[in-house]
Amino acid sequence: MDTDFEVVIAGAGIAGLTAALSFSQMGLSVAIASPLPPPKQIDFRTSALLPTSVRFLQTLGLWENVDKAVQPFWTMRLIDDAAKTRGNGAITDFTSQDTGSEPLAYNVPNDVLRTALLESLSSNAVSIFDAKISAIETDQGQAITLSNGALLSAKLLVAADGRNSFCRSHAKIICHQMPSKQFAITCLLEHSEPHHAISTEFQRRGGPFTVVPMPGNHSSLVWIEPESKGAELLNLTSSELEVQVRRRAAGCLGKIKLLSKPQGFPIRPQIAQKFYAPYLALVAEAAHSLPPTGAQGLNLSLTDIATLSDVIAEALASSKDFNTQKALSLYERRRLPDALARFAFSNGLNLATAAQTPFGQGARRAGLSLLRSLPPIKRQLTKLGLQPIGYTPTTMQ
């Protein structure tokens, strides 16, 4: 197997696989270096993809392989749980009518998306090395040592190796972390009442409780609690947890049944100070890790990849090297404003939703009340949430 590549990607998650597909379709020699998950390991999580992300996946020829498992939703409904319990529930709807004719987002099972990516990569001559990167030497490119002893070389190393990125640490790029003591629980639900293509978020003390529609009478759950409470919930039996889920859903979906074993993870928001180093570009959670609210995480990652693809394509079109400081700094300039804004928005939204003080809850309700009374501002905020801030990659337009 060849060991000299134009691009080596660290990480075999959805972001890393998408980057490999994008770069390989540009005619570059591409390899992935990452331990692969066991074949029977199932990921019950889903991702709400914005229309811009869908357009990017369509240009890669990927969307037609996943669209049968996708559920578009046309309304994002916020319910103030505190107000509801007093008998005057406050509901704020953000709808596709605020933005145009497209759905607000498309909910996609992560496993379906990952399977489609692997199938596409098999026909795009991407080499996959099932081993982690253990050492990197930088000198007019990257010399990469894998944990199995294999040696690779690359003009550009793309770090898609997660929030604890080895590549980022090797490059000594500082990562700014937000304090958080929250925990997210995810699982799949079956319910007796239809969801009507509405994603419903109950804004509660401690964190939001969100049910995102899937095909049929099914939804995915994203439930955020303080870390100690989240650990307690994961220790409940399935029947005990179902009771808790039904209580928090307040009858909006009828009778609810858990279809998958709940998965949980601590929330640790962070963002890298720089998105590049010599012959290295950071994408996805190696660059930024956000709370699972507001449909930002994977969409932000795909925007990174689409933007880096544009930078590489522009360099190739002008017969210039795509791994120079000039090219990589252009990638950072195009991505940093949007990433910083989304990071601030996502953390602010999460903190506002989780506010436990009377003042914090009052401020949250006042803000939503203001949006309901000023539809033009609500429409503008909805549009801002669906489009990258600043540079929009060509494949997302």
What is residue 352's predicted lDDT score, i.e. its pLDDT?
63
What percent of the chain is modeled with pLDDT above 70?
Answer: 90
pLDDT at 292 over 50: yes
pLDDT in tens, 29-68: 999 999 987 776 677 789 999 999 999 999 999 999 998 9
Read off the pTM.
0.92
Confidence at residue 85, expressed as pLDDT on a 0 to 100 scale: 47
Tokens linked to 361: 């809850």
Whether the per-residue pLDDT at 287 is higher than 70: the answer is yes
Tens-place pLDDT, residues 68-122 = 999 999 999 998 876 554 444 588 899 998 887 799 999 999 999 999 999 999 8
User: How far, in Å, are 31, 123, 335 from residue 24 at the CA level?
Assistant: 9, 10, 22
- Backbone angles phi and psi of 94, in degrees to 5: -105, 120
pLDDT tens digit sequence for 110-167: 999 999 999 999 888 899 999 999 999 999 999 999 999 999 999 999 999 999 999 9
Give the CATH fold of the 4-41+111-177+270-352 domain.
Answer: FAD/NAD(P)-binding domain (3.50.50)
Q: How far apart are CA 255 and CA 249, in angstroms?
A: 10
Neighbour count for residue 259 (Cβ, 10 Å): 16
Nearest C-alpha neighbor of 370 from the set 386, 359, 381, 354? 381
Confidence band of 204 (pLDDT split at 50, 70, 90): confident
Give the model's pLDDT for residue 181: 84
Residue 348 in this model has a pLDDT that exceeds 50? yes
DSSP strand pairing (30-33 vs 127-129): parallel
364 vs 207: CA distance, rounded Å: 13
Q: What is the mean pLDDT of the chain?
A: 90
pLDDT for 87 equals 43
User: In 3D, which of 273, 307, 281 has the Cα closest to residue 157?
Assistant: 281
CA distance 88 to 253: 20
> What are the Cα distances from residue 338, in Å, to 224, 257, 260, 322?
25, 38, 34, 22
Amino acid making up residue 227: E
**What pLDDT shows up at residue 86?**
42
Q: Where are the domains of the chain?
A: 4-41+111-177+270-352
